[in-house]
Amino acid sequence: MNRIENKGMVNEAAKYFKEEVLEAMPDIDRENLCEMVDEYIYYQQDDMTRDEAHRVIEETCLLK
C-alpha cells in the first residue's frame, strides 16, 4: 500500500481500505475491521495523531 500523501485524502483512503478488507474477509466483525482501518491510516499518514485516526474511524467505520 502507498503512503497517504495528503491528509485531506485520509477519509477516502480509510473507506477504500475498509472496502478492500470487507471484500477479502466478508465475515470480519466490526471491531476488528475498525481496528485494522485505524492502524492502516495511523501508520500510512506521516503526521496523523491517534486522536485524528480515531475520528476518521468514527466517520468511516463506526457510523456506517
DSSP letters for 24-50: H-TT--HHHHHHHHHHHHHHHSTT--H
In three-state secondary structure terms, 6 is: coil
Residue 1 lies in a domain: no
- Structural domain harbouring 45: 7-62
Residue 48 lies in a domain: yes
- When divided into structural domains, the chain yields a total of 1
pLDDT surpasses 60 at 14: yes
Tell me the backbone φ, ψ of residue 25, rounded to 5 degrees. Answer: -135, 75
Record the pTM. Answer: 0.78
pLDDT surpasses 60 at 64: no
Residue 52 lies in a domain: yes
pLDDT at 5: 63
Residue 41 lies in a domain: yes
Residue 2 lies in a domain: no
pLDDT per residue as tens digits for the range 19-57 = 999 999 999 998 999 999 999 888 888 788 888 888 888
